[in-house]
Amino acid sequence: MNQPFPIKSKVAQKVWHNFERDLVHKLAPLPKDEGNDIRLEIMSHLYESASHDEADLEEVRFINAIERLGSPEEYLDPLIADILLTQQTIKGDPRAIYQSLLASARKGFFHNLATLVLGLGYFWVIMIFIMSVMHLGDPDVGIWYYPSGNFSLSFSAQPDAIQWQPKWFPLIGIITSASAYWLLNKLLSYLFAKSK
Partner 1 sequence: MGSDQIIDRWVPQFRKGLLEFIILLKLQQGAIYGYELAVEIKKLTSIEVAEGTLYPLLNRLKRDCLVTSQWQTAEVGTPRKYYQITPLGLETLAKMKTTWTQTHNSIFNMVMQS
Tell me whether residue 4 or residue 147 sits nearer to partner 1 (CB atom): 4
75 binds partner 1 (CB under 8 A): yes
CA terminus-to-terminus distance, the chain: 32
Burial 30-49 (b: 16+ CB within 10 A, else e): beeebbeebbeebbeebbeb
Tell me whether residue 18 or residue 51 sits nearer to partner 1 (CB atom): 51
Return d(Cα 173, Cα 41) in angstroms, integer: 47
55 binds partner 1 (CB under 8 A): no
Q: If you ran DSSP here, which 8-state letter would residue 163 be given?
A: E
82 binds partner 1 (CB under 8 A): yes
Tell me whether residue 33 or residue 160 sits nearer to partner 1 (CB atom): 33
8 binds partner 1 (CB under 8 A): no
108 binds partner 1 (CB under 8 A): yes
In sign, the C-alpha dihedral spanning 79, 82, 83, 88 is positive
Return d(Cα 47, Cα 19) in angstroms, integer: 12
Among 70, 137, 147, 149, contact with partner 1 (rule: CB under 8 A): 70
- Taking CB under 8 A as the binding criterion, the range among 43-51, 120-128, 143-151, 168-176 that sits at the site for partner 1 is 43-51
Instruction: State whether residue 158 is helix, strand or coil.
Output: coil
Backbone φ and ψ of 145, nearest 5°? -100, 140
193, containing H or E segment: helix 169-194
Beta carbon of residue 191, minimum distance to partner 1 (angstroms, whole number): 11
Tell me whether residue 98 or residue 124 sits nearer to partner 1 (CB atom): 98
Binding stretches for partner 1 (CB under 8 A): 2, 4-5, 38, 40-42, 44-45, 47-49, 51-52, 68-72, 74-76, 78-79, 82, 103, 107-108, 195-196
